[in-house]
Chains A and B, each alone.
Chain A
Amino acid sequence: MKTSKVKSLLAGLLCGCAVLSGVCVPVSAALAGTAQITLKDGTVLEGEIVRELEGIVWIKIKSGKSEETRMLTPDEVKSIARDGGATKPTSGPTSGPATEPKQDKPTAPAEQPANAPATPSATAATPAGSSGETQPRKSGVPRAAVITLGEGGDRDKVGVYMMAKPLRDAIPLLKQENVDIVVFRINSGGGALLEIQKLSDVIYNDYRKNFRTVAWIDYAISAAAMTSHAIEEIYFTPEGAYGACTGWSGDLVAVKDRDLEQILFQMEKISTRGNHPFEIMRAMQIMEPLSATVSSSGDVTFYQDETSGDILLNPKDRVLTFNSQTAAQVKFSAGTATTLDDLAKVMQLPEIEWVGVKKPGFMWPICRAEQMQIDFREKTARDEQQFDEYVQTLNQVLGMGQGQDDERRAKLAGKARECMNKILAAVNNNPNMAIFKFGIMPDKFREEWVEPTEKKIKEMTKKEKK
């Protein structure tokens, strides 16, 4: 696996970094140690640099009892002082501390924090003959994968088609394919609030700590925007939309009182994860005004009224949804991209290797992790379409047993078991089906539904005493 390979190579690297300079892709394992990062706006952050890639730095900051990892782009960083030694950002990728970097190809944005210790390429040899065979890494060229969250149309609901489980399951596949950058292409009109925290946790705790994690917004509405909010680096398609996060149920009835306060608080915390001003999400959740001013140096200040800022983003009686222009105007979006090439440009990556296989009908290569998401949605769609039919048939069959002879009851029991197994398979693939279809929490599903149903089926097969 990539991590262990990197760690084993690390000892050798620290002794011979001069030899290895020029082929490095800095990774977290090499970077442990305290550092002081001065941002261009003057802010100084102290913490542990846990990862560096393409000039982007992840720094773990302690604040009281809590700990937060922040991702800083080269644009934000003025200088980095590692263990007391200040350095200035340089252009071009980083390598060994005492050596002049000799990169084959420029891979980093114009400004880079300097002096990251050189590390070996993260290329991990995949066992020959395994299905995890990957193309060899091109030296210094980052490998990126596109993962879709929702695919629009009928397959876009958060909590049904966009879930934490398949996303977490995909991480080993991304590591197998030596992926450095994960681009989440979001296309969802929203869904269940209950999945937001789980998705946010996977993105923040697992993805952002392992990969440069980017959102590419096509349509992120409501729960889909709230999910994407844990990502700091956000790009839009020209037609991209992001927001409208008001919680509701039934016939457009709003979430109110304590429940509302809880969601607002939850999103304040998720805003911190994504390093987004909380006022933005608040204006997307409730009818609160929002205006902003962009200073000549490019800093954006948000105001929770209509008049203090130069740009009116949301009037007082509206709910905010960004389009690609407004998002870029206030720097919520780091750029607008129609194609993969455009995206690489706005991400300031002169060279990039998109991982996966080109397939007709897809704008990006399909990597294994993405195929997993597609398969998951496909199975969920099939189950969703037929779930009600399984349940209806099962209930009918269970009610038909009385008065039938043994032979027919056995036939009915067989049919009932077939339906139950289909329901079980659907819930195994997508645990939230238990909630949406039966109102049962997934961890209680066996106890509260499967076992009683099994009991009923067994009773059907009992032979009647003559």
Chain B
Amino acid sequence: MMSVAARFGKVWVAAALLLASLVSVPQAAAQDAAPTRIYVIDLNGEFGYDISQTPIRQAMRDARNQNADVVIVKIDAKWERDELTPLPDTEQRFNELFRAQKILPIFADEMNREWPKVPRVVMWVKRAMGGPAFIPFVAPEIYFTADGKMGGVGGIGTMLEGRGDEVVRQKQYSLRMARAEGFLIRGGYDPIIVRAMCQPGFLLTYRMEGGKPIFFERAPERPDEFALTSGEKGDSMQAIVRGTTKSVLTLDADVARAINVSKGTADTLDDLIFQLNLSRNSTIIEGQSKRYMENWKRDLNNATKEIKKTLEEMGPMQEGGGGSGAGNTYEARTQARGKQIRQLDSIINKLKTYEEAFGPRWRQENQVPAIGQLLAQREQLELQQLLDKK
């Protein structure tokens, strides 16, 4: 048996060792600070379809689970009418703000709510035209690639021309503009920038004072002032083709840097990490973000194919009203209706699962009826069954 004194002696030694180890921890930590953990999310493809809230949310949750300190979001969204025709910078896609609104909270309120320690979010812009143009503004740090562009959100003051009364058109423009301005305010940017991006004819000039841009709603009046927009409501064909339009503001790497929207220009991830001052002690997390994005695109494409195939199969039966043609038995008709109902259910389920990506444009392109219409067809089949006679 151990004596009390001996036991106390051992306890004291253990306590002293523990204390020593506790004291030494901060020193060790100071010498070998844990590397900053960087998580990269690549957003590419069609905005609202490939670039959508579900995979982005999955990626951000993965970043949180992997204890990321810095999240870099690279935006390179498609900006083309079709594979051969790029869209001009003056394309009026302001209303994609409402689609962007489904994505923006992921980098704002959701992050505040779900992360134990909010990470540093860096937006890295290659092509953020249309709805994606609003996304970078929610973060206080934006970088551009040398060929980066942000814009394509004109339409305020013009998009409703010819419809209804002027006062209602102004109301619609006003509420849209205030919403867009809000996202810039949240990220710490001057909201006047987005007015110039969205409103053709809005004349915006700036000059630098103490390293900060000062904006004016007028033409330049001094040699150190520069016009960001022309104040005209439209642009010449030459300017449209050459990508030098100025009726609305399109941010490129230089302009964005000049007015302090962009903190720097980087073409490679290494370059960006260097500019973020993280190259000495950082590590890039091998996260799942790429897999989430690819899976999402694959699932959407598969669902689209399956829906189209099912609709093709159903085509003649829809017209036949549930297979009630002459010569069919009651059992055969019942079976046929059962099959159609299952097919409709399968389509409806897919449409609901991928609702965020299967918008009106997708439905039109793929000739898919709205859910309400499919539900009505389903109900019709059930009524036919109710009234059918053996």
B178 touches A322 (CB 8 A): yes
A246 with B178: CB separation less than 8 A: no
State which residues 13-71 of B face A: CB under 8 Å: none
Is residue A264 within 8 Å, beta carbon to beta carbon, of the partner chain? no
B165 at the interface (CB under 8 A from A): yes
Is B379 an interface residue when CB atoms closer than 8 A count as contact? yes
Q: Mark B370-382, 1 if CB is under 8 A from A, else 0.
A: 0010011001100
When each residue 346-379 of chain B gets 1 if its CB lies under 8 Å from chain A and 0 otherwise, what string results?
0000000000000000000000000010011001
| A319/B165 in contact, CB under 8 A | no
Q: Which residues of A contact B167 (CB under 8 A)?
A: 246, 254, 286-287, 319
A244 near B379 with CB under 8 A, answer no
CB pair B185–A321 under 8 Å, yes or no, is: no
Interface string of A196-224 (1 = CB under 8 A from B): 00000000000000000000000101100
Given contacts A248-B171, A252-B160, A287-B167, contact A393 B178 (CB under 8 A): no
> Closest chain A residue to B217 by CB distance?
A312
Judged by a CB distance under 8 angstroms, whether B183 is at the interface is yes
B residues near A250, Cβ cutoff 8 Å:
164
| Residue in contact with A320 in the complex, picked from B102, B169, B174, B379, CB distance below 8 Å | B174
A287 touches B170 (CB 8 A): yes
- Whether B166 and A324, one on each chain, are in contact in the complex, defined by CB atoms closer than 8 angstroms, is no
B170 contact set on A, CB distance < 8 A = 246, 287, 317-319
Tell me, in angstroms, the Cα distance from A243 to B175 when the chains sit together: 7
Separation of A251 and B376 alpha carbons in the complex (Å): 27
Q: Name the distance in Å between B98's Cβ and chain A's nearest Cβ.
A: 9
Which one of A243, A252, A287, A396 has the greatest number of beta carbons of chain B within 10 Å?
Answer: A252
Count residues on chain B whose CB falls below 8 Å from chain A CBs.
37
Task: Assess whether A253 is interfacial by the CB under 8 Å rule.
Answer: yes
Say if the beta carbon of A411 comes within 8 Å of chain B: yes
Closest to A336 in B: B185
Residues 406-437 of A, flagged 1 when their CB comes within 8 A of B and 0 if not, give 00100110010000000000000000000000
Contact at A415–B182, with CB atoms within 8 Å? no
Chain B neighbourhood of A251, CB < 8 A: 163-164
Question: Smallest CB-CB separation from B190: which chain A residue?
Answer: A325
Taken residue by residue from 394 to 408, chain A's Cβ proximity to chain B (1 for < 8 Å, 0 otherwise) reads as 001100100010001
Q: Does A388 contact B (CB under 8 A)?
A: yes
Q: Of all chain A residues, which has the CB nearest B171?
A: A246
* Nearest-Cβ distance from residue B140 to partner chain A, whole angstroms: 12
Within 8 A of B (CB), among A236-257: 237-246, 248, 250-254
Contacts A363-B109, A411-B386: A318 and B174 contacting too (C-beta < 8 A)? Answer: yes
Question: Within 8 Å CB of A356, what residues of B?
Answer: none
Interface magnitude class on chain A: 35 or more
Q: Does A348 contact B (CB under 8 A)?
A: no
A222 touches B383 (CB 8 A): no
Q: Which of B112, B160, B169, B383 contacts A338 (CB 8 A)?
A: B112
Q: Which residues of chain B are within 8 angstroms of A245 by Cβ–Cβ distance?
A: 171
Whether a CB of chain B sits under 8 angstroms from the CB of A150 is no
Q: Does A339 interact with chain B (Cβ within 8 Å)?
A: yes
Query: Does A310 belong to the interface (CB within 8 Å)?
Result: no
Question: Is residue A189 contacting chain B, with contact meaning CB distance below 8 A?
Answer: yes
A241 and B383 form a contact (CB under 8 A): no
Separation of A393 and B160 alpha carbons in the complex (Å): 37
Partner of B163, one of A252, A323, A362: A252
Across-interface contacts of B165 in A (CB, < 8 A)? 248, 252-254
Shortest CB-to-CB span from B196 to chain A, Å, is: 15
In angstroms, how far is the closest chain A Cβ from the Cβ of B111?
11
Using a CB–CB distance below 8 Å, which chain B residues touch chain A?
Answer: 101-102, 108-109, 112-113, 160, 163-175, 177-179, 181-183, 185-186, 191, 372, 375-376, 379-380, 383, 386-387
26 A-B pairs (CB sep. < 8 Å): A152-B101, A153-B102, A239-B182, A241-B179, A241-B181, A244-B175, A248-B168, A248-B171, A251-B164, A252-B169, A252-B172, A254-B168, A287-B170, A319-B167, A319-B170, A321-B178, A323-B185, A323-B191, A339-B112, A362-B113, A389-B376, A392-B379, A393-B379, A393-B383, A396-B383, A404-B387
8 closest residue pairs by CB, A with B: A252-B164, A239-B182, A244-B175, A241-B178, A321-B178, A246-B171, A254-B165, A238-B186
Q: 14 additional contacts, CB 8 Å, given A241-B175, A251-B164, A319-B167?
A: A243-B174, A246-B167, A250-B164, A252-B163, A287-B170, A317-B166, A319-B170, A321-B174, A321-B175, A338-B109, A338-B112, A389-B376, A411-B387, A412-B387
